[in-house]
Amino acid sequence: MRFSKVVLDIFEKGQLIDLRGLTKGKGISGPVKRFGIGLRSHKSEKGVRRPGSLGPWHPNMVIFRVPMAGQLGMFTRIQYNGKIVALGKIKEKNVNPKSGWNKYGNILSEYAIIRGSIQGPTKRQLLLTFPIRKTKKQEKKNYEFIKLD
């Protein structure tokens, strides 16, 4: 059994939603960029971009809280209480600019315009869900598009 519903059938304009998705992947990075530790002075005995200490002699292991190099990005994140500004089908109202959207192209099917920034690169899949922690303050905000030609 195929179950396919369009965003237009489930959500409405002005409704709050939660967006779940992956952030941009940045590969392996060092502790300075990954955790924001400060650089050591130029007179330090060993590396400048390393943490000061990996831990004590005993227990003789590196604790997981020590900032070390590793994966940065490609983390699952949730943006709470995003507001839908506009919904529609491209056949009914064409929202494409003349030159197309930057790093995307032209929209060919249904669209949802959401206030604010969204995690991940262009064309990354997102999961739209009903809000878990909606607030009255977010619901009261109203947005409209004013087209200037």
Per-residue model confidence as pLDDT tens digits over 90-139 = 899 888 999 998 888 999 988 898 988 899 998 899 999 999 987 877 77
Percentage of the chain with pLDDT > 90? 52
Q: Is the dihedral of CA 77, 81, 85, 89 positive or negative?
A: positive
Provide Rg for the chain, Cα atoms: 23
Q: What local confidence, expressed as pLDDT, does residue 149 receive?
A: 57
Q: Is the pLDDT of residue 11 over 70?
A: yes
Question: Would residue 120 be called left, alpha or beta, if left means φ above 0 and alpha means ψ between -120 and 50 degrees?
Answer: left
Question: Per-residue pLDDT tens for 36-53?
Answer: 999 999 998 889 999 999
Regarding the domain with residue range 7-24+75-140, which homologous superfamily does it belong to in the CATH classification? Translation factors (2.40.30.10)
- Cα-based distances in Å from 123 to 22, 30, 91, 102, 118: 11, 28, 20, 11, 11
Report domain extents, the chain. Answer: 7-24+75-140, 25-73
Q: Is the pLDDT of residue 1 over 60?
A: no
How many Cα neighbours within 13 Å face the side chain of 139? 6
Task: Phi first, then psi: give them for residue 25, nearest 5 degrees.
Answer: -85, 135
Q: Is the pLDDT of residue 141 over 60?
A: yes
Mean pLDDT of the chain: 88
Architecture in CATH for domain 25-73? Irregular (4.10)
Dihedral of the CA atoms 104, 105, 109, 110 (nearest 10)? 50
